[in-house]
Structure 1
Amino acid sequence: MEQRQWRKLNGQRIQRPIEDEVRAVLVREKEMEHELKVCIGTDSQVKSRETEFATVIVFIRKGKGGFMYIHNETTKQKMSIKQRMLTEVAMSIDVAYELCRLFTLYNVDMEVHADINTNPSFKSNDALKEAMGYIMGMGFAFKAKPQAFASSSCANKVVQ
């Protein structure tokens, strides 16, 4: 699998593989006795001929705030809205799959968030059933809008 470039919200680049970074975070947070939950989501934005994607790994310290890691990616491939929504989901699942063994090992709950509206009057809703089936079929907990804050709020803020 190709090495993705991750960064923190403050712009600091992560120099080691994300799996090593996440393992260190889980050890540190466990030592500090923080109860964690992780939410992974992706959002995208079309700008002229490019589509920018932002995938986030959001760590929530129950009752004590949170922090996230960000990966941005750009493509010139033209996509329908449904294709773009399912690409977002696939990107989130790739990251979730890469890290799920660690979350299981450290007993951390993880959810995959899809920036797809549950209201049928929105175009993104066309991808809801496929996205839900894809995520749940991989064995992950699924959230869609309005509960999908990792994709619709966190990733949305860092898609460039």
Structure 2
Amino acid sequence: MGLSSTNNLFESFHSPTKGQLTKDDVFSLIEQTIASNKGSFEIIVGADSQLKSRGTFFALVITVIRPGHGGSFFYHKFQEQRYSSLQQRIFQEAVYAVGLATEVRQYLRDHDHDTPVRLHFDIGANGPTRKFIQSLLSLAASNQFRAEIKPHSFCASTIADKFTR
């Protein structure tokens, strides 16, 4: 699956405050929020997955934060085949996050907003995912994204994690 092939994969999202939304609705809400408020915004895309007996459960999250004023988030949950390899699962999370972040960034650019979009990866210097850090940070950089890892990747390690349990 290529990095830009998320176009039709994530068509519905959930907002804790607005309920079910289409991806177009989410992108429009993000754009309206940025356009109607002064100040800077942070947009972060993160993903997490959980291996279960029935398959691999993924959650993708888009957070919109106005520093000092709070924020909101939207998430999409889905199940796929069982990825028994940690490396395969972590890289699949990253590919989904990069693809979705690319779509968000392009939508905002198409609407004359140059708000940066960052990535949060659910990996860290401690534990078995440490060996993937350089590869995933390179993946982010090659797609012109700044990425963060644990303990600074709350979008993936806290918010998305909540929806894979």
Distance 1:114 1:94 in 2: 13
Kept in 2: contact 1:103–1:109 (CA 8 A): no
- For residue 6 of structure 1, the aligned residue among 2, 13, 34 is 13
Give how far 1:34 is off: 4.5
Flag the 1:28–1:58 CA change in 2: closer, same or farther, 3 A: closer
State the 1:79 CA deviation: 2.9
**Equivalent residue letter for 1:91:** Y
1:90-125 deviation line (CA, Å, top 9, x unaligned): 110110111112344312121111001123xx1111
Matches within 5 A, 1:78-93: 78-93=83-98
Structure 1 runs, 4 residues or longer, greater than 4 Å off: none
Runs of 5+ in structure 1 lacking a partner? none
Amino acid at match of 2:74: Y
Give the structure-1-normalised TM-score. Answer: 0.88
- Please give the per-residue CA displacement for 1:62-104, whole angstroms capped at 9, x wherever unaligned: 1111110101111123331111111110110110111112344
Counterpart among 50, 54, 60 of residue 59 in structure 2: 54
State the distance in 1 between where 2:16 and 2:148 align. Answer: 23
Q: Aligned pairs, how many? A: 156
Report percent identity of matched pairs. Answer: 23
- Please give the alpha-carbon distance, in whole angstroms, between the structure 2 residues aligned to 1:130 and 1:7: 30
* Within-5 A mapping of 1:103-118: 103-104=108-109, 105-118=112-125
Asked if the contact 1:103/1:110 (under 8 Å) is kept, the reply is: no
Q: Tell me by how many angstroms 1:31 deviates.
A: 1.4
Following the alignment from structure 2 to structure 1, what is the Cα–Cα distance between the partners of residues 98 and 142? 11
| Aligned 8 A contact 1:49 1:78 in 2 | no
Alignment of 1:89-100 (within 5 A): 89-100=94-105
